[in-house]
Structure 1
Amino acid sequence: MRGSKRDQEWKDLRAVLSPAFSTGKMQRMFPLMCDIADTFVSSCLKDAEKNSSVNMKDKAGRFSMDTIASCAFGIKCNSLTQENPLFVQKADSFFTAAPQLVLRLLMMRNCPRLFNALSLKEDLEEVGFFPIVTETTIRARQAGEKRGDFLDLSLEAQAEDSDTTTASPKHGD
């Protein structure tokens, strides 16, 4: 099943991703966060000029969304400068999913045979959007575009792991 990793597959994935969380590598994302923080401050000041109060809960949520989109998915969400960007729409839809979607996802994960027997599909728009965004961004990175975000760090760690794996002889060779 896609998305669920267990045993050796999980250990292998963890070995690839763990180096991306070192202090030095996490600090490489700091400039991305600073850019978003600057936009956050500008957006708050702009709203404060127009209104006597600013909805800081909304602003903080938009700041968080922009930071996650930038650092994890490698894209500019622009929720601080746009009213309702696509990334936010899809995230809202995913996290406020109807009970039937939650049940479908639980069934897909925990009862895959029943899920398949009922001919249910996992390619719901709410679920499929983020892998598509990630795959598109990965292709751009493989073409040479770099941002210093988590996706770059993960791809670098994966490349280092595959270089190490191919370089080290296996028992019995």
Structure 2
Amino acid sequence: YEKFYNKKFNLNLLNKNIVLDLNFSKEFIKKIVNKNYKTNNITVCGTSPFKVYKIKNIIKKINCLILNKEELFALTKYRNINKSIKFITSINPYINLIVSNADKKTYGYELSKLISCKPPKVKVVNENGAGDVMAGIYVYYKSKDHKLENALSLGVAAGVLHARNKIKKNLNYNSIKKVSNKVKIKKEKLNA
């Protein structure tokens, strides 16, 4: 993708959602973000605590950042979710920040509002990819103008369905919504 973009493709996007993960090179991510952040919505999804250094200097230009707890800690050097969120939001107060803490809670920050979503207890069959499913569903519903609480509870619910191995070909809004009704949403305080 990077070779294609650099050599043959002049990307001129306007009012689009650009979603990147950290498997791209630091230079490619920086180039895409710097060229497009003023006219597009930039979302970056973490893939490893060892790759978050790639976005350290462009946090101000990212609209939405989705990380797991360890990726957040590696990015901020704090080993506390609240302190880490406060650090990121001090750099970019307009960022939409999602932090998953496995089966415990997923935190969402947007415009000075911090919430947590606690998933229902389930028998986990395979948690591999549950965070990816959560992120994908969250990004989809945010792009459809759902509020933070709704989009995040739907994302968490989809992650739960994936971990339970209940995702089938006919996964739809109603099946996700049914589980999202069991997700406990709580307003949190941003103390550090």
The two structures have a TM-score, normalised by structure 2, of 0.23
User: Which structure is higher in helix share?
Assistant: 1
Greater percentage in strand: 2
Structure having the higher Rg:
1
Which structure carries more relative contact order (alpha carbon 8 Å, separation 6+)?
A: 1
